[in-house]
């Protein structure tokens, strides 16, 4: 299996008469996109806005972020199981509108959506302060249940990203990169002297709006599974969760997983990248034991010497993280964990809810409890009143002038446990 990603570098986004890419700019037909999204009977109305890096704009509360893409060669299309039929992703050629993101917002769905500031101190903590954002504000029909509301917002974001991605179908990419990975046996034979590394990719699946989808299937209904890293890069995994903003893996994060990219970059030189095992984060102890044992078995079966493990979320998922670590280490597979910390505002509390002695190689991506003051912005897209409800906010978060004092937990992507963030810490 091999995948070509053609990145079309976009330097500006504007509303225009036609949705197209011209001279490095993306033009969006506002009326056409609005009409497309308002076809959903669960949506009362859609408002579209633009937010560019450096602008005095705050987006709150953010549900998801998605990168616009289009499949130009090969089977299926983008976001299989949602926008297109379920063909296996990860092969052929996909064009990417690089530098552009669809951001969904509107009336709050749960309690854990977050903030994107396009300038100021908050912008230093979110990668989406550096993207050209097409913001989709959704107002649901009256009385819509929360799970239906989440579904409507999720589908609207994917539809918008697919619609915008079509503008890149016939555009020559600025960069074309090939990703290819042979079978486990072929890889091992080709690089016999290099350490064989697998990636154990934990997906948020705790239910009650804490869900992730693989080919349109809620991952909490799955046993751990082998998946090609090219499938991950090609949109097979979609976010549907409302976990704390700081370590929510948005759909954009899944599309651009830096662990996958870095393992590819080192494949054949420093290590032999065997592949990816996806696993879920469960609620009951029995389910945690089942999934961690099954995931460890798969990693061992493909012949891994070592594994990188990433989690999504905190607290309850920390137990899944350390179970995965312990069981792999007991099978002789060395592990490195990537996680954030909830160590209290002073940094003096226990960083993880659980630990084991085998967890002796841990990369921290920051303490989500640290406080930050965000000055008021001239323009707010969404609902500023949500600031005192979202995780990381509290009574008194919202100042009279519109400024905010929050934990960085409230900022989208600030402590992303894939390493897709600006914060770094020493290993535990």
Q: Reply yes or no on whether the pLDDT at 101 is more than 60.
A: yes
Determine contact, residues 222/282, Cβ cutoff 8 Å: no
- Residue 171 to residue 72: CA distance in whole angstroms: 10
Of 132-136, 161-165, 268-272, 359-363, which gets the smallest average pLDDT? Answer: 359-363
Higher pLDDT, 258 or 1: 258
Determine contact, residues 46/61, Cβ cutoff 8 Å: no
Q: What is the mean pLDDT of the chain?
A: 93
Work out the angle at residue 47's Cα, subtended by the Cα atoms of residues 46 and 48, and round it to the nearest 5 degrees: 120
Mean pLDDT for 28-32 is: 97
pLDDT of residue 426: 47
- Residue 306 to residue 318: CA distance in whole angstroms: 20
Q: Reply yes or no on whether the pLDDT at 427 is more than 50.
A: no
Q: How many CA atoms lie within 13 A of 26 on its CB side?
A: 31
Is 242 annotated in the active site? yes
Number of CB atoms found within 10 A of residue 344's CB? 13
Q: Reply yes or no on whether the pLDDT at 424 is more than 60.
A: no
- Residue 406 to residue 391: CA distance in whole angstroms: 9
Where do the domains of the chain lie? 2-410
- Cα–chain-centroid distance for residue 269? 28
- Residue 141 to residue 107: CA distance in whole angstroms: 11
Catalytic residue of the set 45, 119, 242, 325: 242
- Per-residue pLDDT of 162-210, as tens digits, reads 999 999 999 999 999 999 998 888 988 999 999 999 999 999 988 878 8
- Residue 164 to residue 69: CA distance in whole angstroms: 7
- Residue 312 to residue 215: CA distance in whole angstroms: 19
DSSP 256-315: T-HHHHHHHHHBTTTBEEEEEEEEEE-SSHHHHHHHHHHHHHHHHHTT-SEEEEE--SSS
Q: Which band of pLDDT confidence, cut at 50, 70 and 90, is reported for residue 47? A: very high
Q: Which residues is 139 bridged to in the sheet?
A: 45
- Residue 23 to residue 81: CA distance in whole angstroms: 33
Q: Which band of pLDDT confidence, cut at 50, 70 and 90, is reported for residue 24? A: very high
Mean pLDDT for 207-215 is: 89
Higher pLDDT, 210 or 46: 46
Query: Which tokens sit at 404?
Result: 């905010």
Distances (CA, A) of 403 to 128, 414, 418, 421: 20, 19, 29, 23
Determine contact, residues 10/134, Cβ cutoff 8 Å: no
- Residue 64 to residue 62: CA distance in whole angstroms: 6
Helix/strand/coil for 186 = helix
- Residue 265 to residue 365: CA distance in whole angstroms: 21
Question: Can you give the pTM of this predicted structure?
Answer: 0.95
Determine contact, residues 336/358, Cβ cutoff 8 Å: no
Q: Reply yes or no on whether the pLDDT at 111 is more than 50.
A: yes
pLDDT of residue 134: 98
Burial class (CB in 10 A: 0-12, 13-18, 19+), 395: exposed
- Residue 365 to residue 52: CA distance in whole angstroms: 26
pLDDT of residue 207: 80
- Cα–chain-centroid distance for residue 11? 22
Mean pLDDT for 21-33 is: 97
Number of CB atoms found within 10 A of residue 387's CB? 26
Number of CB atoms found within 10 A of residue 105's CB? 26
**Nearby residues of 150 by Cβ (< 8 Å), 6 or more positions away:** 63, 109, 110, 209, 240, 242
Query: Which tokens sit at 396?
Result: 């008194």
Mean pLDDT for 69-87 is: 92
């Amino acid at each position: 299996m091999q995948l070509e990603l053609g990145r079309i570098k976009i330097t500006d986004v504007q509303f225009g008469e036609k949705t197209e890419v011209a001279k490095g700019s993306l033009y969006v037909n506002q009326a056409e996109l609005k009409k497309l999204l308002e076809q959903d009977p669960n949506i009362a109305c859609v408002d579209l806005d633009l937010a560019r890096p450096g602008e005095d704009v705050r987006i709150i509360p953010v549900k998801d972020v998605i990168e616009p893409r289009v499949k130009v060669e090969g089977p299926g299309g983008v976001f299989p199981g949602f926008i297109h039929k379920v063909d296996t992703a990860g092969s052929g050629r996909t064009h990417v509108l690089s530098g552009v993101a669809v951001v969904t917002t509107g009336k709050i769905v749960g309690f854990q959506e977050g903030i994107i500031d396009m300038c100021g101190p908050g912008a230093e903590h979110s990668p989406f302060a550096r993207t050209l954002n097409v913001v989709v504000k959704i107002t649901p029909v009256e009385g819509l249940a929360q799970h239906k509301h989440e579904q409507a917002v999720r589908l609207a974001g994917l539809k918008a990203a697919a619609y915008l991605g079509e503008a890149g179908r016939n555009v020559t990419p600025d960069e074309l990169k090939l990703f290819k990975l042979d079978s486990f046996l072929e890889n091992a034979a080709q690089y016999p002297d290099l350490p064989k590394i697998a990636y154990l990719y934990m997906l948020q699946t705790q239910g009650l709006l804490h869900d992730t989808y693989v080919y349109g299937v809620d991952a909490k209904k799955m046993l751990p599974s082998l998946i090609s890293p090219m499938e991950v890069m090609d949109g097979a995994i979609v976010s549907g969760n409302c976990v704390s903003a700081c370590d929510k893996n948005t759909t954009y994060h899944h599309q651009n997983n830096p662990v996958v990219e870095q393992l590819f970059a080192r494949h054949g030189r420093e290590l032999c990248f065997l592949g990816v095992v996806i696993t879920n984060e469960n609620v009951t102890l029995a389910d945690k034991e089942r999934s961690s044992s099954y995931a460890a078995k798969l990693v061992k079966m493909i012949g891994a010497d070592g594994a990188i493990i990433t989690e999504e979320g905190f607290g309850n998922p920390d137990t899944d993280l350390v179970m995965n670590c312990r069981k792999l280490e007991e099978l002789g597979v060395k592990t490195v964990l990537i996680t954030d910390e909830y160590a209290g505002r002073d940094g003096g509390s226990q960083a993880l809810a659980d630990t084991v002695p085998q967890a002796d190689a841990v990369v921290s991506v920051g303490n989500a409890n640290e406080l930050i003051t965000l000055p008021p912005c001239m323009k707010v897209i969404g609902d500023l009143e949500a600031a005192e409800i979202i995780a990381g906010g509290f009574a008194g978060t919202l100042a009279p002038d519109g400024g905010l004092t929050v934990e960085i937990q409230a900022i989208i992507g600030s402590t992303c446990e894939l390493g897709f963030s600006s914060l770094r810490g020493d290993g535990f």
